Structure 1
């Protein structure tokens, strides 16, 4: 027994020494490889990885045998498997529309289209399966004393209900915001139109006032705010002026400044007019006298306080 234990210990020591020698050899080999790489003895492309082509085995007979082992000839009531196309949409049939879902062309990214396809396919399955179950005597309606627990808890359903309500509230808010934006846009549009209309009326009134100041018209219809009447009156006054002749203001200007011919430079001073001082009045020039009326009273402008009182009275 003692000899056996000594042999076992010697064997273990030999294995440990062999492992240490292997590690040293591996370290030395790595060091040698590094030195060879620095000297340029190692070049790229010496060691290449070769991909082995994978062999695919198509064992048709084995697959058929597995399918035969799995297949069971059971009645339809035990299987309840059906393959159906989606039910025909009545509304689209009335409108004579051909849906893409009936042709099997369903956009997988469109959630609504995909769910509607599942819904109509379930409808077709129910319409075909219910008569078969009734023939086989299988009841398809719940009894009056039927009791079953929901797969989802009440708390989970309350969370779903809250989420649905919050989504509905968000939709209502977004609709209200859209309506408010439309109303604001419409209000701004109406306000802009009103401002433009007022500007046009003001422009027309100012033009009518200027015409009245220049003596082109004698009527004050523009004060009433009726643009049509003012335009008609201005047209009629123009026609009357052409027939009757110029008014008194025009005649006075013609008499003062002349009519026709050269008009520029007529008011320039000459040597004779410069030396002629017969029309000079010292009181008028130095603002000592001023214009007086028939009664001899001076026509002065009332003070600011008096004018404010007059405005407040009116």
Structure 2
């Protein structure tokens, strides 16, 4: 099929008449009409129900429109890719990253990214709030956990798992728990969800058995980093995501326990709008982060 006739047909279908299609394509209305007629003759089908004022697609026209629209999108994407092939990534990139993971892992990764792409400026919002990318103008966001139903494209950066830990000084005063049931005898620092205002349960798995512990102790907090600080200062045992205590464990400030028990894991993803004409700066940012965390 002639590509010009396909473009004329798609424009007429979207514009609702030959005049609108002619304006979009920069040709005459009669030229659009003739192109569509040639396409109908070639395919031996009627694509439009014609009236004096408007056009409506026939059943065959609907099928052809869906296919041809995608063909034109793919062709435009190929053209765009070729035009970007010689481009240098540059411009200001607006991203949103979660607080604790952002400070411990994303900021170093972003710094490495900016050294690799010196013409890109990054404006990062560090927040655990689930932002509206379109409304708030973000190019990409990094998030942890189950994602709501969204039309965003998500690429995996990995997973994070819950762990149990306390300070060496705490374990000098209390025996180390050998199983989740032993936590009943310990001062557990509780995390209160800022969204639900409920204490988060501690979940473990062993031999296909699920074990749920409701923490009880003298301290409850609604901030993960504050909870880690409390554990470092000997306030009790905490249950948190592994990346939050990685450095504290390396430095000997915290010690993990109950390592033989499986705990829930959460996905870590970088998301961006479902836009086929993804800008080069966003594309290289996403690819860099995926490679970095792999």
Q: Which has the higher contact order (CA 8 A, sep 6+)?
A: 2
**Fold-level match, TM-score > 0.5?**
no
> Given the two structures, how large is their TM-score scaled by the length of structure 1?
0.16
Give the greater-gyration-radius structure (CA): 1
Q: Going by fraction, where is helix more abundant, 1 or 2?
A: 1
Q: Going by fraction, where is strand more abundant, 1 or 2?
A: 2
